[in-house]
Chains A and B, each alone.
Chain A
Amino acid sequence: MATKWLPRWFFQLASPRWCYQFTGKLIPWFAVISITLMVIGTIWGLAFAPADYQQGNSFRIIYLHVPSAILAQSFYMLMALAGAIGLIWKMKVADMVAKSVAPIGAALAVLALLTGAIWGKPTWGSWWVWDARLTSMLVLLFLYLGVIALNSAIESETTAAQATAVLALVGLVNIPIIKYSVEWWNTLHQPATFKLTEKPAMPAEMWLPLLVMLIGFYTIFGLALMLRLRNEILVRERRASWVKELLTVKA
């Protein structure tokens, strides 16, 4: 098999039981770290970061808007990747990850769009403009909703997972469109705050709390993903002996 180069943990992750136990160990750590980061980031961004010289205090919306927009996109990529792994290796856990991440990604896309609209009003004078960045983010939300609807419309778990994986993979083309929309088209939207190759254009007092919030968002919504995944594992593995043992010990 061509799978020899894959590390051992990749196959361990494929076991629902191992995955359930592993996430059970991670959850308390993620809970403590994520809540700490979110509290620090929020207080830092709201009360201590300096106001923007052009936008005043409305700029503080950035600490929610940018992390939610970044996560909505990276969770979409995770959904497509997990779907692809499920398609190729018929890995049940990957299908469950893809299904569990969709509602969280949709919620994050909604948050990014809403905070963007609320930020746009005092900054651009309008809640919404049909601009490339905003429109491609709206398409991302519709892709999430399409994936969720398609998954719940198909009764067979395997067929549902395959169909949604294909839809998620096709929709992947939207991700670079979102990223480069601010460069390819004339847009009101400002360019990216964080770039891999350059220093941020804003001072450290402004972007440091943003970085804290970004990691806080990753860990807190990673936590939400683990909680959903564990529910999914329990439901689908309900006939497995380890689930029965787990429940009889608890009861």
Chain B
Amino acid sequence: MAFESFADFLEMGGHGLYVWLCYGLGLLTIVLSLLLPLQQGKSIKRDLVRRLRREERSA
């Protein structure tokens, strides 16, 4: 461990704000990059299934 205590770890030797802000942004980027296409995929499949049913009915 590079730190004596958990408070030390949070403080990052006075650079806590910068370090934690960066890691927050990193987490946000990763979560959004995965969640957005997952949600988009769900709505695409839903729309396609709906269209398929409509075509079957009219056929």
Contacts and interface: CB of A to CB of B under 8 A. Distances in A.
A234 B2 contact: no
A250 B49 contact: yes
B2 A49 contact: yes
B22 A64 contact: yes
A223 B34 contact: yes
Interface of A: 38, 42, 46-51, 56-58, 60-61, 64-65, 68, 104, 107-108, 110-111, 114-115, 118-119, 121-122, 220-221, 223-224, 227-228, 230-231, 234-235, 238, 243-244, 247-248, 250-251
A235 B26 contact: no
17 contacts: A47-B2, A51-B13, A56-B12, A57-B15, A58-B18, A64-B26, A68-B26, A107-B32, A114-B22, A115-B26, A118-B22, A227-B34, A231-B41, A247-B52, A248-B49, A248-B52, A251-B52
Contact of A118 (B18, B44, B51): B18
A115 B30 contact: no
B1 interface: yes
- Which range holds the interface residue count of chain B? 20 to 34
Given A56-B13, A57-B15, A115 B22 contact: yes
A122 B45 contact: no
Given A221-B33, A224-B33, A251-B49, A57 B12 contact: yes
A238 B22 CA distance: 40
A48 B2 contact: yes
A228 B35 CA distance: 10
B59 interface: no
Given A227-B37, A244-B52, A108 B29 contact: yes
A46 B15 CA distance: 12
Interface in B5-43: 9, 12-16, 18-19, 21-23, 25-26, 29-30, 32-34, 37-38, 40-41
Given A47-B1, A50-B2, A227-B37, A38 B30 contact: yes
